[in-house]
Structure 1
Amino acid sequence: MDLHLTDKVALITGASRGIGKYIAEALAREGCAVGICARSEDDLNETATHIRDAYGVSVYTEVADLTQSDTPGTFVEKAAEALGGVDIYVGNVGGNLRGDFMELSDDDWDAIIDLNLKSHVRASRAAIPHIRNAGGGSICYISSIYGRELGGAGLTLYNTTKSALISMGKVMAQELAPENIRVNTVAPGSIRFPGGSWDRRVKENPEAMQAFVEENLPIGRFGRAEEVADAVAFLVSERASLITGACINIDGGQSHSLI
C-alpha cells in the first residue's frame, strides 16, 4: 500500500533508539524527510547515518533535552528550517520513574510531567503552525496501554502522564479537525527491541519472561518495535484520513479495556 508520504516532513522525538528509531525508519522508508532528536549524540548520529544510507532521504538531527522549556520549540523551528516545513509530528520521547505514591516528591512529578507531557505540549505548539501552513497534516503521540489500564504499584507517574497524553490528543483532535490536522495516539503493550527493558529482562530471566508472556500476551510473544512503527506510519498518512481522536492499542491482546 502506498501511503503517499513521499516528500513529507516528519519530526520524531526520542528517535535515536527503540520505538522512536523504528518510527523514523518506517517514515523514511515511505519517502519522508525526517527530523530526529535525542539526548545521546552517538546513537543519534548512528541512526541518522543509517537512515540516509538506507533510504536516501534528508535527515536533520539535534541533540536535545526536551525537558528544558525552550528546547522542544527550538528543535521544531530548526528542523522546519532545515527540511522545508513540517507535515507530521510524532511525539515519542518519554520515560518512567518508579516509586510508591507517598514516596514521590514534587521534583519527581515535575521531571516526568516535563518529559512525558510538557515536552509534547511545547513541541506541538511549535509544530502546528507549520502543519497548518502545509495545508494540514498529522500528529501522533506514543502513549502506552498503561495510559488506559492499571499499570500496577509503583507506576503512578507513568500511568498519570500517559493517560494525560491520550486525553490531550483527543481534545486537540476536536480543535484541529477544521484545519485538516488529525491527532491520534497509539498505546503499545510490552514491546521487545535490542537494548530495551523487556529485552534485558528476557536475557536475565528467560523462564520468568516466558511465564509472563503466557499469562499476559494472548498473541504468544512480545511485540516488535517495527509493528508499532508500521501502525504509526499508517496513522499519520492520508490512508488514515478518517481516523482522528483515536487511541489505538498495539499490544497483541494484552490490554482488557473496553474504551
Structure 2
Amino acid sequence: MSKAFEGKKVLITGGSKGIGKGIAQAFYSEGARVGILARSEEGLKAAKEEIGDIETYACDVTVDGERQNTFQRFIETFGGIDILVNNAGGSSGGKIADTSMEEFTKSMETNYFQAVHFSKMAYEQMRERGGAVINITSIFGKEAGGKATYNNAKAALISFTKAAGNEWIKDGVRVNSIAPGSILHPTGNWQKRIEENPEAMERFVEQNIPAGRFGNVEEVADAALFLASQEARWLVGTTLTADGGQSRMNI
C-alpha cells in the first residue's frame, strides 16, 4: 500500500507513544498528513522528532473544552479531516468491590466518552466527502480477562463502533475498530512485567498466545492502514481482532 494515503488528513489521539505512535508512523510513511494529540508536551516533542513532519497538540482528552479546542485547531491547520484514530485510553481500578465509582466514571471518560465526542466532531466534517473512523478497543472489550472498568468501557466503544458504523455509512463515513491483544512496546505494562518477572511472562505467552509471542505496534498499525483503505470499503461497524490467537471467543 505504498503512498496509498498521500495527502490524507489523519488525526490520532494518544499518538505520542505505543500503539498510537506506531499508527502515526505508519500513516506518515504512507504519505499522509498527520496530527497527534496527547497530554505530555515532552512525549509529543519526542514523537515528532522520531516520526518527522507531523503536527502535535497537547490535550487532556477527558476535558470537554480541550477536546473541542484541539479538534478545531486541527481542522484550521489541515483544512479538514479524512481519518480519525481514537487510540487514547488507559486501564485503572482493580476488583469491582474494591474499585470506587469515581474510578468507573474516570475509565468511561478516558476510554469511551472522549472517543464518542471526537467521532461526532469528525463525522460533522466528513459527512460531505466521506472518511474513516477507527477506534482502538481491546479483546477485553469482547470477553472477560482484564479489569472491569477497562472491559466495560472498551465493550461500550465496540458497541458504539457498530451503531455509528450503521448510521454514518450512508454519508460515506466508515466506522470500524481494532481489538488488540497483548501488545509489547517500551512504555507499556507488558514491558514492565517482563522486566519484573521474565519467567512468568514466558509462561504467560506459552499458555495464552497461540502465535508464541507478544504482538507489536506495527502489526496493529497495519490493521489500521487496512481499515482506512479502499480495500476495506465493505467493512462497516466491524471490530477486527489483532491478537495472535489470544482471545477465546469463536465469533
Code of the residue aligned with 2:74 in structure 1: it is A
Provide the residue aligned with 1:63 in structure 2.
58
Partner SS state of residue 255, structure 1? coil
Partner SS state of residue 127, structure 1? helix
CA distance in 2, matches of 1:100, 1:189: 21
- How many corresponding residue pairs? 251
CA distance in 1, matches of 2:192, 2:104: 26
Provide the residue aligned with 1:203 in structure 2.
195
Matched, 1:158 2:150: yes
Question: Does the 8 Å contact 1:169/1:245 carry over to 2?
Answer: yes
Provide the residue aligned with 1:242 in structure 2.
234
Question: Does the 8 Å contact 1:144/1:162 carry over to 2?
Answer: yes
CA distance in 2, matches of 1:94, 1:161: 10
Code of the residue aligned with 1:235 in structure 2: it is L
Matched, 1:182 2:182: no
Provide the residue aligned with 1:11 in structure 2.
11
CA distance in 2, matches of 1:106, 1:200: 27
Q: CA deviation at 1:3?
A: 6.4
Partner SS state of residue 5, structure 1? coil
Out of 218-227 and 65-74, give the one that drifted further. 65-74
Matched, 1:31 2:31: yes
Question: Does the 8 Å contact 1:172/1:183 carry over to 2?
Answer: yes
RMSD, matched Cα: 1.2
**Aligned counterpart for 1:138 among listed residues 124, 132, 144:** 132
Partner deviation per Cα, 1:168-201 (whole Å, 9 max, x = no partner): 0000000001111110010000000112111111
CA distance in 2, matches of 1:80, 1:132: 14
Out of 168-177 and 122-131, give the one that drifted further. 122-131
Provide the residue aligned with 2:117 in structure 1.
122
Question: Does the 8 Å contact 2:3/2:31 carry over to 1?
Answer: no
TM-score where L is the length of structure 1: 0.94
CA distance in 2, matches of 1:236, 1:172: 16
Partner deviation per Cα, 1:79-107 (whole Å, 9 max, x = no partner): 11111210000000000112221222221
Provide the residue aligned with 1:167 in structure 2.
159
Gaps of 5+ in 1: none
Question: Does the 8 Å contact 1:140/1:184 carry over to 2?
Answer: yes
CA distance in 2, matches of 1:128, 1:74: 16
Matched, 1:100 2:95: yes
Identical-pair percentage: 42
Question: Does the 8 Å contact 2:88/2:111 carry over to 1?
Answer: yes
Gaps of 5+ in 2: none
Partner SS state of residue 70, structure 1? helix
TM-score where L is the length of structure 2: 0.97
